[in-house]
Amino acid sequence: MDETFRPLSSIVTAQVTARSLAGARAVNDDHFLVVQMGRHQETLATNLPDGEVPSRFDETGYGMIVADGLGPAAAAASRLAISTLAHLVLHFGRWDLRITSDIAQEIIARAQRFYSGVDKELAAASASAPGLRAAMTAAYSAGDNLFVAHVGHSRAYLFRGGSLTQLTRDQTLRQRVADWGPGLFEAAASELNHILTDAMGADAMVQVGHFALRDRDCVLLCTNGLSDFVDESSLVEILKRRTPVEDRCTAMADKAVALGARDNITLILAEYSVPALSPAHTGPAL
């Protein structure tokens, strides 16, 4: 058996956990989904000598989604947004796990189409339940590749080497005002965090990004119930702890509650193991 054939999709793993709390609200309108996807080959019968072919070969990817419902039918909106995206992936996804530059572009284009499909589904459903709107952030990883799709004010972060980087850009009036330049309107902009310029169900503009993962990277997806109340320095303080991902995830959610979060709090935290491989261990080029 060729022991050198070890594509990153077969050896990169992630520990993933999630928390979702109502916060100070009576109802939790947030929803989330975490999935592990993959493909495998399993030997059922052979008369080849032992070790000639693998008994089983697996490749794995991870999908994560948070959605924050808005308006009078908030819970229904976030639920429908995630459910629609999940079924689009089931029906039309291609399960790409070994990422080349061409495949990366296909994944980005597919993410934009899927988000457009969710947007249209929420708009159509608004005929019977007016005002179905949601912010939604999704991440897909395969090997050391990470793709993030985003609409609204939920966020994706990358924690690496003690530093936290926001991978998404808030689609809020406050962010738009900030883009105009410092000073003029900033002092009056504190409430604009909650006024979205884009949302699922309202002809949204989708952001899609492609990023490289390294060993021990953490990816954090969250609704604004976390990011509005826990500052980045506090998130870093928790993320850099040498504790299980479940404990760090719970600590961030508890921090938001302790700070009086007035919104629902939902977060997904994934920590990656990305072994270093020489090119010879990724398999032959064709």
- CATH number for the domain that contains residue 270: 3.60.40.10
pLDDT tops 80 at residue 129: no
What number is the average pLDDT over the span 82-96?
A: 94
Report the distance separating Cα 158 and Cα 184, nearest Å.
31
Domain total of the chain: 1
Report the distance separating Cα 236 and Cα 243, nearest Å.
13
The contacts of residue 20 (CB under 8 Å, 6+ apart) are 28, 30, 31, 32, 264, 265, 266, 267
| Residue 238: inside a domain | yes
Residue 222: its pLDDT value, please?
Answer: 97
Residue 143, number of CB atoms within 10 A of its CB: 21
Residue 204: its pLDDT value, please?
Answer: 72
Tokens of 114: 């899927």
| Residue 286: inside a domain | no
pTM of the full structure: 0.88
Q: Which of these, 28, 23, 27, lies nearest to 260 by C-alpha position?
A: 23
pLDDT tops 90 at residue 198: no
Q: Which residues of 66-94 are buried (b: 16+ CB within 10 A; e: fewer)?
A: bbbbbbebbebbbbbbbebbbebbeeeee
| Residue 18: inside a domain | yes
What number is the average pLDDT over the span 46-57?
A: 92
Rg for the chain (alpha carbons), in Å? 20
| Residue 21: inside a domain | yes
Confidence band for 199, pLDDT divided at 50, 70 and 90: low
| Residue 184: inside a domain | no
Note whether 242 and 215 are within 8 A (CB).
Answer: no
Report the distance separating Cα 266 and Cα 282, nearest Å.
37
**Strand 218-222 and strand 207-212: pairing?**
unpaired
Residue 4: its pLDDT value, please?
Answer: 66
In the sheet that 218-222 helps form, which strands lie side by side, from edge to edge? Answer: 13-21, 265-273, 218-222, 155-160, 163-166
| Residue 187: inside a domain | no
Higher pLDDT, 74 or 180: 74
Range of the domain at 112: 8-42+51-170+197-277
Report the distance separating Cα 262 and Cα 7, nearest Å.
45
Residue 197, number of CB atoms within 10 A of its CB: 17
| Residue 185: inside a domain | no
Task: Say which amino acid occupies 85.
Answer: L
What number is the average pLDDT over the span 194-215?
A: 76
